[in-house]
Amino acid sequence: MALPQRVFSGVQPTGNLHLGNYLGAITRFVELQDSYDCIYCVVDLHAITVPLSVWGGPEGLRTATRQVTAAFIASGIDPERHIVFNQSQVGEHAELAWVFNCVARLGWLSRMTQFKEKAGKDRENASVGLFAYPNLMAADILVYRATHVPVGEDQKQHLELARDIAAKFNHDFAESIAANGHGEAFFPLTEPLITGPATRVMSLRDGTKKMSKSDSSDYSRINLTDDADTIALKFRKARTDPEPLPTEIDGLADRPEASNLVGIFAALTGRSTDDVLAEFSGPFSRFKEVLVEAAVSKLSPINAEMRRLMSEPDQIDAILTKGAERAQAIARPNMDAVKDIVGLLRR
Active site residues: 118, 210, 213
Residues 6+ apart with CB under 8 A from 190: 141, 142, 146, 147, 148, 149, 159, 162, 163, 166
State in angstroms the smallest separation of the CB of 71 from ligand TYM.
Answer: 11
Binding track over 99-138 against ligand TYM, x by CB under 6 A: --------------------------------------x-
Instruction: Report the residue number whose CB is nearest to ligand TYM.
Output: 24
**In terms of CB distance, is 21 or 289 closer to ligand TYM?**
21
**In terms of CB distance, is 3 or 179 closer to ligand TYM?**
3
C-alpha to C-alpha distance for 253 and 321, rounded to whole angstroms: 48
State in angstroms the smallest separation of the CB of 12 from ligand TYM.
Answer: 3
State in angstroms the smallest separation of the CB of 235 from ligand TYM.
Answer: 16
What single-letter DSSP state applies at residue 203?
P
**In terms of CB distance, is 63 or 315 closer to ligand TYM?**
63
Query: Which amino acid is located at 139 in the chain?
Result: A
Using CB under 6 A, which of the segments 3-11, 261-269, 279-287, 331-339 binds ligand TYM? 3-11
State in angstroms the smallest separation of the CB of 242 from ligand TYM.
Answer: 25
**In terms of CB distance, is 8 or 55 closer to ligand TYM?**
8
Nearest to 181 by CA among 333, 8, 4: 333
C-alpha to C-alpha distance for 152 and 265, rounded to whole angstroms: 17
168-to-23, 100, 105, 185 alpha-carbon distances in Å: 33, 10, 10, 10
DSSP, residue by residue, 251-265: GGTT-HHHHHHHHHH
Nearest to 24 by CA among 188, 137, 192, 144: 192
**In terms of CB distance, is 216 or 289 closer to ligand TYM?**
216
Nearest to 12 by CA among 72, 65, 63: 65
Return the residue of 46, 66, 82, 163 that touches ligand TYM, per CB under 6 A. Answer: 46
- Decide: 90 and 96 in contact? Cβ < 8 Å: no
**In terms of CB distance, is 201 or 245 closer to ligand TYM?**
201
State in angstroms the smallest separation of the CB of 98 from ligand TYM.
Answer: 16
Dihedrals phi, psi of 81, to nearest 5 degrees: -75, -30
Q: Which helix (DSSP H) or strand (DSSP E) does residue 191 occupy?
A: strand 191-193
Q: Which residues pair with 116 in a beta bridge?
A: none
Query: Which amino acid is located at 156 in the chain?
Result: K
Binding track over 185-224 against ligand TYM, x by CB under 6 A: -------------xxxx--------xx-------------
**Does 30 contact ligand TYM by CB under 6 A?**
no
**Does 323 contact ligand TYM by CB under 6 A?**
no
- Decide: 245 and 262 in contact? Cβ < 8 Å: yes
**Does 24 contact ligand TYM by CB under 6 A?**
yes
State in angstroms the smallest separation of the CB of 314 from ligand TYM.
Answer: 25
Q: Within positions 139 to 168, which residues make up the interface with ligand TYM, using CB under 6 A? A: 140-141, 149, 151-152, 154-155, 158
**Does 267 contact ligand TYM by CB under 6 A?**
no
Q: Identify each DSSP E strand in 1-153 by its residue range.
A: 6-11, 37-42, 83-86, 148-150
**Does 11 contact ligand TYM by CB under 6 A?**
yes
**In terms of CB distance, is 214 or 311 closer to ligand TYM?**
214
- Residues engaged in binding ligand TYM (CB under 6 A): 8-12, 20-21, 24-25, 43, 46, 137, 140-141, 149, 151-152, 154-155, 158, 198-201, 210-211
